Amino acid sequence: MPTTTQAREILAALRLENVRYAIRDLAVLADEVAKTGKKILPLNIGDPLKFDFATPPHMIEATHKAMRDGHNGYAPSLGVDEGIQAIAGEAERRRIRNVQSIFVTAGVSEGVELCLTSLCNTGEDVLTPAPEYPLYSAVLAKIESPINAYYLDEEKNWEPNVEEMASKITPRTRGIVVINPNNPTGAVYSRQTLEAICDLARRRNLVIFADEIYDKLILDDGVEHISLASLAPDVPVITFSGLSKPYLAPGWRIGWAICSGPKDALKPYIEGVHKLLRARLCCNAPMQYAIKPALEGPQDHVKEMNGKLRRRRDLTVKWANSTPRVSCVSPKGTFYAFPKLDIPGDDLDFVKGVLTEKQVLVVHGSGFGHKPGTKHFRIVFLPYEQTLAKAYAGMADYLREHYK
């Protein structure tokens, strides 16, 4: 008879202690509220397909055709050729020059993870914005890279202060993350700011990670999104984008990265990224055949989407700036707003309160790492106007009842 022993507790790796993802972590509480029979008004996750948006039919047909044509096996590690060529054409249209590599990933998320992992040794860091999209801090925690945050300036339309960015650079800093258009603030950065960031990276020999997944979701006339890499062909820049947001296919998990800059300087780094790409084989093969029709086919859905988002943005900003204890810098792009709260207590208590009492699900600003001493919450204004109006009325009632 074998000896029976009680299994000991199996602990997770210590590197995971700082991994947080506030957007989905808060959804656990929402599930508990929903189990009581109450209907949740979701303003938390940026998935357009949960509302009145749909993947363009010509993209769906392209994936069906790929499957029917037998493209159901492994794809090349960098991506299928026709998709890579279409992305190269998009890079040219965005005036990105000196391109050294293009590769397709399982959403921008995988691209970010592979590129940060390939750059940073243990203890090295990259500058990340605060507030930020939480993926970056989660990946950095996993690879044991300390968080080195630079603050976005709410008084200047949420653009970064490049002088402050420079002050955060240490001998162990390897790169700068720039999210433009920005999640969670909706800011679209000026040419002057982007040129200053490029100059900083040039002088300090840093890689720029330009997350531009929302580049087509521009809500104000006269506002132009400028690809950061187009301003500095001599600076190493990794530009991320994909099908999820502008092409309404988040579940397909198709993203890509465009590596541009000086060939000799980038060569060893790109070889490292390619090594990881080979190790994970490839991303979803049939869905990659939608890249070419997406980028080169009809773009009507973008205009329609931006029109809806503009009306919902305007409703959101009007509510925020007319409600006591709330104010909001108007977002110029994306489908996010990041209102400021003037309340005692913290913003996590606020979002938990409006969830449990008013069934409105938003995300606390501290979950995005905003400036200490400030209080915010992120709104996803993708839902129908009627849903937004109901949610905003509920939050206004909560504020009036709890913060007199």
Residue 241 to residues 30, 90, 261, 312: CA-CA distances in angstroms?
30, 10, 17, 24
How many C-beta atoms lie closer than 10 Å to residue 76's C-beta? 17
Instruction: Tell me the three state secondary structure of residue 59.
Output: helix
Among 247, 268, 296, identify where a domain stops. Answer: 296
Domain enclosing residue 358, as ranges: 14-53+300-402
- Residues 6 or more apart whose CB falls under 8 angstroms from that of 170 comprise 125, 148
The mean per-residue pLDDT over the stretch 346-375 comes to: 93
Q: Quick one: tokens of 379? A: 């709104």
Mean pLDDT of the chain: 95
Is residue 34 domain-shared with residue 119, that is, in the same domain?
Answer: no
Is residue 63 domain-shared with residue 49, that is, in the same domain?
Answer: no
CATH number for the domain harbouring residue 338 = 3.90.1150.10
Sign of CA dihedral 183, 185, 186, 189: negative
List the Cα angle 185/342/193 in 5-degree steps: 30
* Amino acid in position 160: P
Q: For residue range 2-13, list pLDDT tens digits in order.
A: 666 667 888 888
Sign of CA dihedral 103, 108, 114, 120: positive
Distance of CA 250 to the CA centre of its chain: 12
Give CA–CA dist 113/117, Å, rounded.
6
Please tell me what DSSP assigns to residue 222.
T
pLDDT value at position 4? 65
Q: Quick one: tokens of 51? A: 């509302």
CATH number for the domain harbouring residue 178 = 3.40.640.10
pLDDT value at position 235? 98
pLDDT value at position 151? 97
Sign of CA dihedral 299, 380, 114, 250: negative
Is the overall model pTM greater than 0.75, yes or no? yes
Percentage of the chain with pLDDT > 90?
88
Among 229, 261, 296, identify where a domain stops. Answer: 296
Q: How many domains are there within the chain?
A: 2
Whether residue 114 contacts residue 276, with contact meaning beta carbons closer than 8 Å, is answered with yes
Q: Tell me whether residue 3 is in a domain.
A: no
pLDDT value at position 29? 81
Whether residue 88 contacts residue 82, with contact meaning beta carbons closer than 8 Å, is answered with no
The mean per-residue pLDDT over the stretch 71-97 comes to: 98
